[in-house]
């Protein structure tokens, strides 16, 4: 069975590694990027083969809000999970619909739960 690919973007390498490890154990293939430009390039390259996006908000001088909007432009029903320490309140203004905002610090199982719940709720009615 092929694996579903999740893109994780965080400029804190340790957090990216923790999330990557948990998602790999959960059965996903994981691609990690540490800046916005590389993240967007990955989204373009993967196209519909990208199954979910997990992104930090403050990524160097860039913004996870923009990455998520870009990714939704490529895949309309892409599950999006944001992670943030100090931008949580902006989610109500800058987040995309049907996304999950997870406050840092978090337990990695929260990321896995958010990704799998969003994937499972994509109702195959249409």
Binding region for a second copy (CB under 8 A): 1-4, 14-15, 18, 22-23, 26-28, 69, 72-73, 76-77, 88-89, 91-110, 112-114, 116-117, 119-120, 122-126
What does the block give as tokens for 6?
């999740």
Q: 46 or 113: whose CB is closer to a second copy?
A: 113
Question: What does the DSSP assignment read for 24-73?
Answer: HHTT-EEEEESSHHHHHHHHHHHGGGEEEEEEESEETTEEHHHHHHHHHH
Quote the least distance from Cβ 86 to a second copy, whole Å: 11
- The CA distance from 126 to 123, in Å, is 8
Quote the least distance from Cβ 68 to a second copy, whole Å: 9
Quote the least distance from Cβ 10 to a second copy, whole Å: 11
């Amino acid at each position: 069975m092929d694996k579903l690919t999740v893109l994780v973007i965080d400029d804190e390498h340790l957090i990216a590694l923790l999330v990557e490890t948990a998602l790999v154990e959960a059965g996903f293939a994981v691609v990690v990027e540490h800046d916005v430009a590389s993240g967007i390039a990955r989204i373009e390259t993967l196209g519909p083969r990208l199954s979910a996006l997990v992104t930090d908000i403050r990524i160097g001088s860039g913004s996870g809000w923009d990455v998520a909007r870009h990714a939704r432009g490529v895949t309309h029903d892409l599950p999006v999970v944001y992670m943030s320490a100090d931008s949580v309140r902006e989610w109500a203004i800058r987040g995309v619909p049907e996304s999950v905002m997870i406050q840092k610090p978090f337990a990695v199982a929260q990321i896995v739960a958010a990704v799998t719940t969003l994937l499972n709720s994509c109702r195959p009615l249409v």
